[in-house]
């Protein structure tokens, strides 16, 4: 059976499963729509949280970044997993004990201010919309290649599927759908990794294969061989640090505290019956997440090795070492049709040269061989995980399984983000501020309409993304770090933090980070800041836009502390509320204020 037919069957079966679950678990009340009636078992919630958490950035893009950035991309592993531990220990139990539906509702009540609630809604929408761009891009990449439709059509199909099960089922439907999506995505990620690890190292466990020797008879360790090959082509050693230590540290911190401030992940801990269940589900989620995150470094390294050996079949400098363009493997021709992979025969020798044409020493050697520049002109990072099984020549059913897994990862996170946007608009903005007498039925309808609007916006932005999936997601984490996380931390652990401080802090953190991102990314209108000019030499102290969220968070904390000290303290009942949230004795029973 051909690949496209198998892909349609497997992807179609998973979509039918998701829609069937949504119909079975349709939300009938606002409680079920926002927090699944607070009746989800901790293990089930842990699995759903893992699926919600492991987005297209984790499944599709992270290993691609590791493949091309090597050591430097380890910050994504450290930041995202470390941030989840931070969330589980410092925020999740306390927010569940507070017993509300949404993050803006906690901020509004804790800081006794509707203005604080509205500012939190604005922050949440900006964060979630930025994050969901990466998910829709992942959907378009997967559909565009394997279902042989355009990138744009792929995004529209993904929008339709999310619309059906997210709008219909709300949090209740999304939770059970995400459990199914976790099973699909983790199976899809690990099965090809096992196959490829066996091919390259003879070890069925990719985590061990990464540190093992290759099976080509050389006796070399995998990472040593990869270092040797990439340096021969003029690139930095795969295991070498290229970025500055300051930038690596700040990017790690930005991802960590951004993780702990992500509203769509935090809201998952509102769905369990008790506070102790929030802690338990956080632990289970970490276990489920670790399966993919410990596999990703091996997938990235092996994908890079397979790609190079596809193009460069022998020692650098020998003309026979470069594959003839007329004999390029089928997988490259198929991916070229998507526009995400491309090449150009610059010296008209009929062969494909792949090397670092920005390395002066390598350029000098290449010119002596008659090479006129790197001819593999485009390799989109987001294709590496999806293309890896094809590069390795794995069976069609494995390739189709990876497609289903990538779509499951993207759609599960997109659904969680869209629900966070929907609840912020319908529950916090309409019900909480503008129309307090709104009936439950009208609120439920407003939530579904808001989600439909969010899906349309997400689709449009997914078709016009500002970068790779993981890059865009990293920016969303930076925005969460700079705005939501400090407000939550100070709200739980500081009785002195007041409404004026929280509002000023969120605004200062958000604006400073947005300005930095726009200044160096230059997506829309700022003159002289096109992405082509986005080079480290221009960054303030070498801090990348993705890493600036940690600086924004520091700005936020500083402003909260200073403004709170200069203004009146919170009312006494709010200070008692802060103490009440932190008391461990409530771990057995939820308390709804």
Q: Is the pLDDT assigned to residue 143 strictly greater than 80?
A: no
Residue 102 backbone dihedrals phi, psi, to 5 degrees: -135, 165
Can you tell me the distance from the alpha carbon of 86 to that of 8, in angstroms, rounded to the nearest whole number? 40
CA distances from 551 to 85, 123, 489, 508, 545 (A): 21, 17, 16, 11, 10
Can you tell me the distance from the alpha carbon of 428 to that of 3, in angstroms, rounded to the nearest whole number? 46
Beta-carbon contacts of 221 under 8 Å, excluding residues fewer than 6 positions away, are 211, 212, 213, 214
CA dihedral 419, 424, 427, 429 (to 10 degrees): -150
**How many alpha carbons fall within 13 Å on the CB side of residue 410?**
35
What pLDDT sits at residue 318? 60
For residues 64-91, average pLDDT: 81
Q: Is the pLDDT assigned to residue 564 strictly greater than 90?
A: yes
- Tell me the two tokens of residue 147: 């279902």
Can you tell me the distance from the alpha carbon of 490 to that of 495, in angstroms, rounded to the nearest whole number? 8
Question: Residue 172 — pLDDT band, cuts 50, 70, 90?
Answer: low
CA dihedral 440, 446, 449, 451 (to 10 degrees): -80
What pLDDT sits at residue 420? 76
pTM: 0.77
Average pLDDT, the chain: 79
- Tell me the two tokens of residue 344: 């150009």
The string of DSSP letters for 369-400 reads TT--S-S--EE-GGGHHHHHHHHTT--HHHHH
Can you tell me the distance from the alpha carbon of 137 to that of 133, in angstroms, rounded to the nearest whole number? 6
- Tell me the two tokens of residue 71: 């050591």
The string of DSSP letters for 394-453 reads --HHHHHHHHHHHHHHHHHHHHHHHHHHHHIIIIIIIIIII-TT--HHHHHHHHHHHHHH
Beta-carbon contacts of 554 under 8 Å, excluding residues fewer than 6 positions away, are none
Indicate if the alpha-carbon torsion angle 140, 145, 146, 147 is positive or negative: positive
What pLDDT sits at residue 504? 95
The string of DSSP letters for 529-593 reads --GGG--GGGSGGG--GGGTHHHHHHHHHHHHHHHHHHSPPPPHHHHHHHHHHH-GGGGGS----
* For the chain, counts of helices (H) and of strands (E): 26, 2
Select the highest-mean-pLDDT range: 242-246, 304-308, 335-339.
304-308
**How many alpha carbons fall within 13 Å on the CB side of residue 216?**
9
Question: Residue 591 — pLDDT band, cuts 50, 70, 90?
Answer: very low
Say which range, 23-37, 170-184, 368-382, has the weakest mean pLDDT.
23-37
What pLDDT sits at residue 530? 38
CA distances from 497 to 129, 262, 487, 488, 507 (A): 28, 21, 9, 11, 15
Among candidate residues 421, 204, 408, the one with its CA nearest the CA of residue 295? 204
Question: Residue 593 — pLDDT band, cuts 50, 70, 90?
Answer: very low
Question: Residue 502 — pLDDT band, cuts 50, 70, 90?
Answer: very high
Select the highest-mean-pLDDT range: 278-292, 460-474, 533-547.
278-292
- Tell me the two tokens of residue 414: 């997109």
- 368 or 416, which is more confident? 368
Partners of 379 in the beta sheet? 341
Q: Is the pLDDT assigned to residue 35 strictly greater than 60?
A: no
Beta-carbon contacts of 269 under 8 Å, excluding residues fewer than 6 positions away, are 45, 49, 92, 93, 95, 96, 278, 281, 282
CB 106 within 8 A of CB 100: yes
CB 411 within 8 A of CB 139: yes
Can you tell me the distance from the alpha carbon of 196 to that of 474, in angstroms, rounded to the nearest whole number? 28
Select the highest-mean-pLDDT range: 430-434, 485-489, 533-537.
485-489
Residue 164 Ramachandran class (φ > 0 left, ψ -120 to 50 alpha, else beta): alpha
For residues 314-319, average pLDDT: 65
CB 539 within 8 A of CB 492: no
Q: Is the pLDDT assigned to residue 469 strictly greater than 70?
A: no
For residues 17-46, average pLDDT: 68
User: What superfamily does domain 3-303+389-466 belong to in CATH?
Assistant: Hydantoin permease (1.10.4160.10)
CA distances from 520 to 11, 13, 461, 482 (A): 39, 43, 19, 17
């Amino acid at each position: 059976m051909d690949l496209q037919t198998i892909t349609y069957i497997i992807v179609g079966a998973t979509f039918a499963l998701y829609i069937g679950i949504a119909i079975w678990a349709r939300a009938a009340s606002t409680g079920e729509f926002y927090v699944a009636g607070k009746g989800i078992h901790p293990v089930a919630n842990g699995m759903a949280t893992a699926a919600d958490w492991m987005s297209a950035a984790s499944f599709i893009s992270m290993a691609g970044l590791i493949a091309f950035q090597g050591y430097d991309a380890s910050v994504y592993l450290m930041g995202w997993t470390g941030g989840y531990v931070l969330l589980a220990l410092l925020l999740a139990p306390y927010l569940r004990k507070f017993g509300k539906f949404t993050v803006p509702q906690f901020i509004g009540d804790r800081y006794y201010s509707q203005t604080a609630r509205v500012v939190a809604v604005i922050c949440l929408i900006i964060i979630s919309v930025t994050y969901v761009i990466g998910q829709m891009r992942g959907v378009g990449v997967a559909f565009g290649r394997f279902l042989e439709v355009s990138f744009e059509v792929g995004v529209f199909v993904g929008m339709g599927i999310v619309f059906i099960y997210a709008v219909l089922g709300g949090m209740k439907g999304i939770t059970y759908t995400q459990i199914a999506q976790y099973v699909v995505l983790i199976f899809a990620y690990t099965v090809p990794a096992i196959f490829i690890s066996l091919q390259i190292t003879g070890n069925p466990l990719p985590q061990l294969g990464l540190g093992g020797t290759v099976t080509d008879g050389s006796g070399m360790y995998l990472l040593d061989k990869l270092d040797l090959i990439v340096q021969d082509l003029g690139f930095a050693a795969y295991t070498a640090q290229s970025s500055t230590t300051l930038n690596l540290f700040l990017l790690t911190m930005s991802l960590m505290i951004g993780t702990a401030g992500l509203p769509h992940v935090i809201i998952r801990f509102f769905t369990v019956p008790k506070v102790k269940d929030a802690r338990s589900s956080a632990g289970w989620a970490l276990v489920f997440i670790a399966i993919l995150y410990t596999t990703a470094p091996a997938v990235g390294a092996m994908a890079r090795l397979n790609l190079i050996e596809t193009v460069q079949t022998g020692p650098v400098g020998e003309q026979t070492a470069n594959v003839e363009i007329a004999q390029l493997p089928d997988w490259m021709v198929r991916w070229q049709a998507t526009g995400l992979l491309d090449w150009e025969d610059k010296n008209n020798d009929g062969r494909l040269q792949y090397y670092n044409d920005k390395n002066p020493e390598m350029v000098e050697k290449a010119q002596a061989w008659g090479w006129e520049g790197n001819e593999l002109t485009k390799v989109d990072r987001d294709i590496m995980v999806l293309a890896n099984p094809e590069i390795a020549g794995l069976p069609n059913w494995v390739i189709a399984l990876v497609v289903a897994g990538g779509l499951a990862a993207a759609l599960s996170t997109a659904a969680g983000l869209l629900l966070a946007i929907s609840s912020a608009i319908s529950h916090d903005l309409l019900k909480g501020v503008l129309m307090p007498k709104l009936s439950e039925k009208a609120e439920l309808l407003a939530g579904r309409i808001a989600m439909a609007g969010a899906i349309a916006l997400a689709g449009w932005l997914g078709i016009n993304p500002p970068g790779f999936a993981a890059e865009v997601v990293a920016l969303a984490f930076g925005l969460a770090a700079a705005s939501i996380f400090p407000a939550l931390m100070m709200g739980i652990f500081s009785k002195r933090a007041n409404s004026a401080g929280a509002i000023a802090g969120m605004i200062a953190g958000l604006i400073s980070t947005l300005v930095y991102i726009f200044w160096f990314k230059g997506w829309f209108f700022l003159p002289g800041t096109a992405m082509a000019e986005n080079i480290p030499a221009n960054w303030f102290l070498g801090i990348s836009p993705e890493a600036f969220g940690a600086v924004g968070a520091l700005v936020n904390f500083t402003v909260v502390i200073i403004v709170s000290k200069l203004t009146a303290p919170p009312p006494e009942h709010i200070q008692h509320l802060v103490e009440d949230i932190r008391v461990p004795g409530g771990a057995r029973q939820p308390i709804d204020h």
